[in-house]
Amino acid sequence: MTVRNTRNRKRNRILRRMLECAALLSLCLLSGCWDKLELEEQAFVVVIGLDKGPRNTVEVTFQIANPQIGSSDIGTAEGEPPSDTIRFTSSDILSAKELANTVITRTINFAHLKTMIVSEELARDEIFPHIAGAAIRDPELRREVAMIVSREKAFDFIMKNRPRLETRPHKYYELMQQRWMETGYVPFSTLNQYLQQQVTDSMFLAIYATARQHNHRVSRHEDAYLAGQVPKRAGDPVQMIGAAVFHNGRMVGTLTGEQMRWVQMLRHKASVDAFITSFSDPLEEDAMVTVRLFKNGNTKIKFDLRKEVPRIHVTLPLRIQLLSFTSLEPYATDPEMQRMLIKHLKEQIESELLEVIRLSQKKFPGDPFEWELFARKHFMTMPAYQAYGWSKHFKKAKVDVKVELRLENFGKQRTPYMQTKRKEG
């Protein structure tokens, strides 16, 4: 009896072992592996261009990085270009991705897509929100992709963009994105923001760019340009300045680089902390004063929404460093003149801000300052806010702007030499 029991137990144990092994094996065989793809079997799309095609189609341009150029000394392939650009006409981005494999030997991968360039023509078209929305159904396509609106066809833009200092296209966009954050000439715009702000009352601002020189004009304000207007010679033809304004997913207008900067400042939290700009000199008509502006805390926005014409009070704290003034007036030594200068700058900034606000009230169907987020707080429920209709009221609103300006210093020098001497004397 006992012998049989032991034998049974032994057999059971072996059976269990075999079952365990089978389970483990099936785990290996039934799972994973299909997504597996070696790096060199994939083509990494760095830039996507979108143009309007015939009969509700889109022309999708892929710029595919060639890993063998400029990345590693060992794997270099002589004579190959750093990237390949191909255009397909298709109903949307994802079908174009499949179609691309009729030409490209490797699996198209969007995982390293940095930038999406949309032609102004398509951006203003009613089908654009659908095309952009459908694209992100592919998990590979990241929402952090930067969105740029080009004045000409995206295909031309990509073809013309030949940065001199960067061989590889992804590096160009990576570096440009960092510069955008610093100068504030263009908004920080990603696909994610575009999708988010489709459903809100604020407007989405996208980077505005062109690879073509439009009307070459020289402004005394170095930043009052749209893309294509920047006076420059030689170099890469691409310029990025100003913003394309979107409402409900469609482009409705543009902002110049200067306006863009003030919009950034008027937002509660600016994505740009400091920029250099210039104003006219209070004492001399033709002379300019160049200053570096810092945002000195968050913009305070107060609403009075009880009346039919809402009132909005905006307080913008700013710090400035005086960098240069061509009038050569003794601002540094004379406190009286400094006070005058500050007053003058303050008035100028306030008028520029008001101009931007007035412009957006007049020309755009919503507010680009994201004030909507603060206006919402004045309503108990979301339906109450929606019933109020922020965009409609914003257009009528009376806005006053107050700038709190502090002159920090005259550039590098802490105290002017003359003042130090006077104190000692």
Q: Is 23 in the site for another protein (CB under 8 A)?
A: no
Closest C-alpha to 328, from 293, 287, 297: 287
Q: Is 105 in the site for another protein (CB under 8 A)?
A: no
Q: Is 109 in the site for another protein (CB under 8 A)?
A: yes
Q: Is 138 in the site for another protein (CB under 8 A)?
A: no
Pairing of strands 204-210, 239-247: antiparallel
Q: Is 97 in the site for another protein (CB under 8 A)?
A: no
- Per-residue x/- track, 173-212, another protein (CB under 8 A): -x--------------------------------------
- Which range of residues in 89-97, 170-178, 181-189, 347-355 is near another protein by CB under 8 A? 170-178
DSSP string, 128-188: HHHHHHHHTTSTTS-TT-EEEEESS-HHHHHHH---SS-SSHHHHHHHHHHHHHHH-SS--
- d(CA 353, CA 224) in angstroms, rounded, equals 13
Tokens 């206006």 correspond to 375
- Which range of residues in 31-39, 86-94, 124-132, 239-247 is near another protein by CB under 8 A? 31-39
Cα–chain-centroid distance for residue 110?
19
Site residues for another protein, window 335-394 (CB under 8 A)? none
- Per-residue x/- track, 43-82, another protein (CB under 8 A): -x-x------------------x-xx--xx-xxxx-----
Joined together, the tokens standing for residue 15 give: 């059976």
Q: Is 28 in the site for another protein (CB under 8 A)?
A: yes
Q: Is 167 in the site for another protein (CB under 8 A)?
A: no
How long, in residues, is the chain? 425
Sole binder of another protein in the list 84, 140, 334, 408 (CB under 8 A)? 140
SS3 for 221?
A: coil
Task: Report the run of H or E that residue 204 belongs to, with start and end.
Answer: strand 204-210
Q: Is 31 in the site for another protein (CB under 8 A)?
A: yes
Closest C-alpha to 237, from 158, 168, 184: 158
Question: Nearest approach, Cβ of 72 to another protein (angstroms)?
Answer: 4
Closest CB to another protein among residues 166, 347: 166
What is the DSSP secondary structure assignment for residue 67, as one 8-state letter? Answer: T
Closest C-alpha to 60, from 17, 103, 5: 103
Question: Nearest approach, Cβ of 177 to another protein (angstroms)?
Answer: 12
Q: Is 38 in the site for another protein (CB under 8 A)?
A: yes
Closest CB to another protein among residues 4, 34: 34
DSSP string, 264-318: HHHSSS-S--EEEEEEE-SS-SS-EEEEEEEE-SPPEEEEE-SSSS-EEEEEEEE
Q: Is 35 in the site for another protein (CB under 8 A)?
A: yes
Q: Is 233 in the site for another protein (CB under 8 A)?
A: no
What residues make contact with another protein under the rule CB under 8 A? 28, 31-33, 35-40, 42, 44, 46, 65, 67-68, 71-72, 74-77, 109, 111-112, 114, 140, 142, 168, 170-171, 174
